Amino acid sequence: MKLTKKGYTLGGVDLLPIVEEHGAPLYVYDAEKIVSNYHELKNAFAGVDVHLKYACKALTNISILKLLRKEGAGLDTVSIEEAQIGLKAGYEPNEILFTPNCIGFEEIKQAVDLGLIINIDELSTLERFGNEYGGTVPCCIRLNPHIMAGGNSHISVGHIDSKFGISIYQVPHIKRIVDNLGIRVNGLHMHTGSDILDAEVFLRGAKLLYEAAKSFPELEFMDFGSGFKVKYKEGDVTADVKAIGKQIVASFKEFCKDYGRDLQLWFEPGKYLVSNAGYLLVDVNVVKQTTSTVFAGVNSGQNHLLRPMMYDAYHHIVNISNPSGTDRIYSVVGYICESDTFGYDRRLKEVRVGDILAIHNAGAYGFSMSSNYNSRCRPAEVLIYKGQAHLIRKRESLEYLLMNQLEVDLA
């Protein structure tokens, strides 16, 4: 987002006229930024056969999926519904990794029937998979490396108490199941979490995968997950993907040499690709002064952007209606009947009723984690593509909220 003489723009398009046309709250995404993020990450791992599988749980809009497929991305999915949306977006089944957790086996069978790449993270499921398919359908194994990443249990998924993956210490057990049931393991996978700053976390996990690979001679790929830290505010330290890529590529090449053949190197970026490309534009309903605080109350809340309340995540906020106003301090809060605060004590250009505030880094886990709490409708979504604003999701309505409800005759 840029401030010009005319006001704030995104992808070369003025933002306020978009709000005038489509209303607020409104999610707006910059296609050019998403594409730039994708190629920046892929180029960081030049020198090996790298494949990026977009972790679509971050943002599942079908237009975003099509945009990334056009650039060459594959897809990482965690539910059969995500996979089905991916297929509708034009992805081939063999471009979609299916990495669920704690699901019923029927969903695994659905994924096999669709031809997806199956990733298994639980021993009894692996055993059942082998009894059902033997060596006719290959699978990937998700290992838990017992590494804490990101320093926060909410965003770290590779630690010893995590529900994700099979313990790295259970590789001998995995090997027995695989050998006895004739399972063909074509990939090994790990994902330690989010907000990873350097190569050390990846390399620690990689060493464990390299050692585990000795037990599986038919591997085609290794998936190191993702979790590269993105910038949320001025002064944030972010992941140096070029430096990380250089170290991992060197490590992976050495492994492939020892393994006896070249494998594909996979990553599953989600937040890294779409976070800084998305903004939530909200309308100021009230400016309320109390004895200690001035609140800017907006027409949105945790029902549209949950991350500040769920993860205590920081999202930069800008008043795009009054870019030359006087700096004042506000707490930006939502309209939900909960304590839903987007930001405490933020320095903003003077906020007036009717102003539009832009909440940054809303591209990842914004709309995808939204809800209809308080019977509020979810916002529309707009994609800025080649200098044009395209509506890619309609705003919900009361009719949508009632669509699947059935009235019982209580007479």
Last residue of a domain, one of 225, 253, 269: 269
The reported pLDDT for the residue numbered 161 is 61
| pLDDT tens across the length of the chain (411 residues) | 999 988 999 999 999 999 999 999 999 999 999 999 999 999 999 999 999 999 999 999 999 999 999 999 999 999 999 999 999 999 999 999 999 988 999 999 999 999 999 999 999 999 999 999 998 999 999 998 887 554 444 434 444 566 778 898 999 999 999 999 999 999 999 987 656 556 677 788 888 889 999 999 999 999 998 877 787 877 777 778 888 889 999 999 999 999 999 999 999 999 999 999 999 999 999 999 999 999 999 999 999 999 999 999 999 999 999 999 999 999 999 999 998 999 999 999 999 999 999 999 999 999 999 999 999 999 999 999 999 999 999 999 999 999 999 999 998
**173 and 295: one domain?**
no
- Asked about 337 being catalytic, the answer comes back as yes
Task: Let me know if residue 47 belongs to a domain.
Answer: no
Task: Let me know if residue 49 belongs to a domain.
Answer: no
The reported pLDDT for the residue numbered 198 is 60
pLDDT tens, position by position, 129-147? 999 999 899 999 999 888 7
pLDDT tens, position by position, 289-341? 999 999 999 999 999 999 999 999 999 999 999 999 999 999 999 999 998 99
**205 and 117: one domain?**
yes
Whether the CB-CB separation of 128 and 174 falls below 8 Å is answered with: no
**222 and 287: one domain?**
no
The helix (run of H) or strand (run of E) holding residue 331 is: strand 327-333
Task: Let me know if residue 52 belongs to a domain.
Answer: no
Task: Let me know if residue 204 belongs to a domain.
Answer: yes
Task: Let me know if residue 48 belongs to a domain.
Answer: no
**9 and 107: one domain?**
no
Q: DSSP code of 103? A: -
Backbone angles phi and psi of 244, in degrees to 5: -60, -45
Catalytic residue among 56, 102, 256, 337: 337
Q: Compute the distance between CA of residue 251 and CA of residue 340 in angstroms, rounded to an integer.
A: 45
The reported pLDDT for the residue numbered 203 is 82
Task: Let me know if residue 308 belongs to a domain.
Answer: yes
Last residue of a domain, one of 242, 269, 296: 269
Q: Which domain holds residue 255?
A: 60-269
**9 and 92: one domain?**
no
Residues in the chain, total: 411
What the block records as the tokens of 323 is 């870019």
**102 and 216: one domain?**
yes
**263 and 285: one domain?**
no
What the block records as the tokens of 394 is 């309609």
The reported pLDDT for the residue numbered 157 is 43
Last residue of a domain, one of 269, 303, 319: 269
Task: Let me know if residue 407 belongs to a domain.
Answer: no
The reported pLDDT for the residue numbered 179 is 95
**163 and 129: one domain?**
yes
**252 and 349: one domain?**
no
Task: Give how many domains the chain has, as a whole number.
Answer: 2
Report the CATH number at residue 373.
2.40.37.10
Whether the CB-CB separation of 301 and 343 falls below 8 Å is answered with: no
**210 and 226: one domain?**
yes
Report the CATH number at residue 217.
3.20.20.10
**121 and 70: one domain?**
yes
What the block records as the tokens of 399 is 């009719």
Q: Compute the distance between CA of residue 266 and CA of residue 76 in angstroms, rounded to an integer.
A: 10
E-assigned strands of 327-379? 327-333, 341-349, 356-359
**246 and 313: one domain?**
no
pTM (2 d.p.): 0.92
158 to 131, 241, 247, 296, 328: CA distances (angstroms):
28, 20, 21, 39, 42
What the block records as the tokens of 92 is 């081939």
Task: Let me know if residue 46 belongs to a domain.
Answer: no
The number of CA neighbours under 13 Å toward the Cβ of 29 is 29
